[in-house]
């Protein structure tokens, strides 16, 4: 059976290396932040964003307990403001849309109104030979709408500048899926 998380890491690792710069645009509990931090190592850097103070606390704890190098910066701000905090091109960016697992608040989710501007900004931050990964959770109304809007937006972008793909289980339409945008 296809393991989407392993597949996501495969794509990220084809672009992200020791010493690179990365962003976790939706830190949540810090799983992606820890993966990025470990991958770029002591010479690299990771900036992660979330609007929930609880996410920053959970992520900081995970990073320390996982033995990640101190190459990370956690920002309590919406992902659409990332360009205010990151001034260098990034080699990898990750979005894990939806709500924060374990928060007890499934009503607080990423929203189309900030997700699309955040993805547009993230694409403009990408370096050469880099990747942006967006995980979508269509099992709730806002998640389904976010996914549809992102697919429409991605379909308008030049195939000569970006390679964009979608990975979804065909026989499970409400299961999570992800899209990647790779620079050429």
Domains in the chain, CATH or no CATH each: 4-183 (3.40.50.150)
Question: What's the whole-model pTM score?
Answer: 0.94
Average pLDDT estimate for 158-177? 92
Lowest mean pLDDT among 73-77, 98-102, 106-110, 111-115: 98-102
Runs of H (alpha helix) within the chain = 4-13, 31-40, 53-65, 112-125, 141-155
- pLDDT at 61 (0 to 100): 97
The residues, any chain, with a CB within 8 Å of residue 53's CB and separated by 6 or more, are 76
- pLDDT at 38 (0 to 100): 98
Contact 56, 65 (CB under 8 A): no
Alpha carbons 9 and 169: distance in angstroms, whole number: 17
| DSSP helix/strand/coil, 177 | strand
Q: Which two tokens mark 181?
A: 């945008």
Q: What do you get for the CA distance between the two ends of the chain, in Å?
A: 30
The answer to whether residue 4 scores a pLDDT higher than 70 is: yes
∠ CA 42-44-48, rounded to 5°:
110
Burial tier of 60 (Cβ tally within 10 Å: 0-12, 13-18, 19+)? middle
Average pLDDT estimate for 106-132? 89
For the chain, give percent helix, strand, coil, nearest 5.
35, 25, 35
The answer to whether residue 69 scores a pLDDT higher than 90 is: yes
């Amino acid at each position: 059976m296809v393991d989407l998380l392993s597949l996501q890491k495969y794509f990220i690792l084809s672009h992200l290396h020791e010493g690179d710069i990365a962003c976790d645009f939706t830190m949540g509990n810090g799983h992606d932040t820890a993966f990025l931090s470990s991958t770029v190592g002591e010479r690299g850097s990771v900036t992660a964003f979330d609007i929930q103070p609880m996410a920053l606390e959970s992520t900081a704890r995970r990073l320390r307990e996982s033995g990640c190098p101190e190459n990370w910066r956690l920002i309590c701000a919406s992902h659409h403001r990332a360009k205010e905090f990151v001034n260098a091109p990034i080699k990898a960016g990750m979005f894990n849309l939806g709500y924060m697992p374990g928060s007890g608040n499934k009503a607080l989710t990423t929203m189309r109104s900030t997700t699309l501007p955040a993805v547009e900004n993230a694409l403009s931050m990408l370096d050469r030979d880099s990747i942006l990964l967006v995980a979508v959770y269509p099992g709730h109304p806002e998640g389904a709408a976010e996914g549809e809007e992102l697919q429409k937006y991605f379909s308008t972008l030049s195939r000569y500048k970006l390679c964009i793909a979608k990975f979804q289980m065909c026989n499970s339409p409400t299961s999570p899926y992800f899209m990647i945008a790779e620079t050429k």
